[in-house]
Copies of this chain bind each other. A is one copy, B any other.
Amino acid sequence: MKCIGRRGIGGTTLADVAREAGLSQGIVNLHFQSKENLFIETLKSLAEDYRAQFEGALQRGDGSPAGRLMSLMELDLSHSVCQPAKLAVWFAFWGEVKSRPTYRKICDEVDRYYDEVILQLCAEIIDSGYYPQITAMNVATVLASMTNGLWLSCLISPQEWSRHAALDAVHCYLSTVFPQHFRRSGAT
């Protein structure tokens, strides 16, 4: 991941990886069979890492759907997830998704699970309140796409981009659509 973050996927050579790991070049192929497979395992590990944090965030909080939803949003905009070095790796893989079906499959799986959980939480929130004009699908779509989009800003203009402003925007949005569940924070 360090290498991909530094030089991109196309610019990463097995020699780089071996050097970074302090190992010989041969051992990389011995363990991963091929460069392609190394990348796939990297992506899998990246996905698994994210999923673990995701599960952790779900456990945290007061247990209410709104709390868990907020917890997930905070994760997506946390320092851990938003580091440009890590995001660069995600975008590197997304950039190859079109031409590598295997990458797409893994990314798709993460996305699907993410969407599913968000959708479920939104549904629970709507069920436990009175929101006649809102569908869970609409809110879930907005939330899921927002975080992805915010990451792009983080990647492209890292210095100017403020995680707090983003979190503020998310909270503002939630308090607008779900006023009964999310308290209005003072606008910054």
Shortest Cβ gap from A115 to chain B (Å): 8
Are A95 and B146 in contact (CB-based, < 8 A)? no
Interface size on A, residues (CB 8 A): 57
Are A98 and B144 in contact (CB-based, < 8 A)? no
Are B138 and A172 in contact (CB-based, < 8 A)? yes
Chain B residue nearest in CB terms to A84: B98
Please report whether the interface of chain A is mostly helix, strand, loop or mixed according to DSSP: helix
Select one of B107, B150, B157, B170 contacting A108, CB under 8 A.
B157
Given contacts A111-B156, A149-B148, contact A142 B141 (CB under 8 A): no
Are B91 and A98 in contact (CB-based, < 8 A)? yes
**Chain B residues with Cβ under 8 A from A134's Cβ?**
172, 176, 187
Select one of B104, B133, B145 contacting A145, CB under 8 A.
B145
Chain B residue nearest in CB terms to A157: B108
Q: Any chain B CB within 8 A of the CB of A184?
A: yes
Which 4 residue pairs across A and B have the least CB separation, nearest first?
Answer: A95-B95, A10-B10, A145-B149, A148-B149
Chain A residues with CB under 8 Å of chain B are: 5-11, 84-85, 88, 91-100, 104, 107-108, 111-112, 133-135, 137-139, 141-142, 144-150, 152-153, 155-157, 165-166, 168-170, 172-173, 176-177, 184, 187-188
